[in-house]
Amino acid sequence: MTQPSRETLRAHRQVFWDAWQKAQADLPLNAMEVRIARVIKMHPEYHHFFNDMEDFLDRDFQDDGGMNPYLHLSLHLALEEQIATHQPPQVATTLEHLMQIKGKTRHEALHTILEILTETLHASHRQGMEPDVMAYAERVKGLTG
């Protein structure tokens, strides 16, 4: 798997930037922008990155030594899409279980599942293969045990 070009990365980040700016201005949002704004809102520690568009669009977060906020927000968005589409269905049911039975907040439950998603994507990247969706779904389901 190759790294995205600087132009591709910038275009993807622009979607996050635009959604957050529209949300802050109380402008109408489409369904994807609503999810993006919700994910950003959950992370006030990243809000300062949305003060400088050029810095956000161009910064190499790998050089910062900490968590890449764009990557973290993107993984959150991937989970939100999995929940909205029930693909795989284990994500939505496990999220509910973690909140209802285990007493986690929605954000805590998302982060629990996010760890598995991150490990799955990291392993597939290392192996140069597509993620094993079935194995991922089974690991997520295992959180309910």
Q: In this predicted model, which residue has the larger pLDDT, 141 or 63?
A: 141
Task: Indicate the number of domains in the chain.
Answer: 2
Same-domain pairing of 112 and 55: no
Question: For 90-126, what is each residue's pLDDT tens digit?
Answer: 999 999 999 999 999 999 999 999 999 999 999 999 9
Q: Is the omega angle on the peptide bond into residue 89 within 30 degrees of 0, that is, cis?
A: no
In a domain, 7, yes or no: yes
Residues present in the chain in total? 145
- Please say which residue of 66, 99, 121 terminates a domain: 66
Same-domain pairing of 60 and 92: no
In a domain, 108, yes or no: yes
In a domain, 81, yes or no: no
Q: What is the DSSP string of 106-138?
A: HHHHHHHHHHHHHHHHHHHHHHTS---HHHHHH
Same-domain pairing of 49 and 100: no
Q: If pLDDT is split at 50, 70 and 90, which confidence band does 7 have?
A: very high
Same-domain pairing of 62 and 12: yes
In a domain, 79, yes or no: no
Question: For 41-89, what is each residue's pLDDT tens digit?
Answer: 999 999 999 999 998 898 887 755 667 888 999 999 999 999 999 999 9
Range of the domain at 106: 86-145
Same-domain pairing of 52 and 3: yes
In a domain, 126, yes or no: yes
